[in-house]
Structure 1
Amino acid sequence: QVNDPDAELWVVVYTIPAVLTLLVGLNPQVTGNVIWKSISAIHILFCMVWAVGLAYYLLRHTQQNILHEEEGRELCGLVIITAWIILCRSSSKTPVGGRIQLAIAIVITLFPFISWVYIYINKEMRSSWPTHCKTVI
């Protein structure tokens, strides 16, 4: 996030689910706590509203792959956060977890890595990166 113009915002957006997930890892029953439920619900709502706004913007202004656009990558991040927190919230109902929850967790975990590899090997996509993205690697 060193080279991102809105890094402070994204640090907060990603730190909240990281802390919520850490708490679930330390004590899975924390998802029943009123404070944990409230924070996760507010963050889900915030991410969903922001994602809808980004999706609307992308539908109106994007002429190529959404991953070519900074807003498209931000939208993917918000979708991942929302899905992950929803998965954590449902873990209190089935603490051991089911096969579907495990499959969803694996997909959510692997999606950023697979997307990054795709974007990195796609020369056309790399050429359209903004300057702050080209200096990352």
Structure 2
Amino acid sequence: MLEMITVWAALESMAARLAAEVATDEEIVSLHALVDGFNGADVGSHMFEYSDVNIRFHQAIISLSRCKMIEEMANGLFVHVRAIRRRTIYERDRAKRSVVDHKDIVEAIEARNGERAERLVREHTLKLREHVDRFVTLD
């Protein structure tokens, strides 16, 4: 699982860089619809809804890259990564931090700063990897 998350981090971070370069302004606005309705303070009362939106956000980043190979490879991993994201989003204030991270990622893509978007997505996903490594027992 840790290797899958690591590969996902590489794929999605490159997708974020590409999205900053090729996504239309309208497509980037669609990312706002996935993050602007939540804030760190009240996400806990909307956890089920946020869990689904969180998954859609990550899928949208992949899609906006317009790189079919990244999308195909990510889709092969997504069943597993989605399951661990759903399981861990409720733990140790991860949802609150996730909301902040997602807003920063959208801001970087909107600014067409591919390097920053890539770094933020990689760091965001590697936080998941660290959490799983430290706190999740995988059977």
TM range (shorter): 0.3 to 0.5
Say which structure, 1 or 2, has more relative contact order (CA 8 Å, 6+ apart): 2
* Greater C-alpha Rg: 1
TM-score (norm 1): 0.40
TM-score (norm 2): 0.39
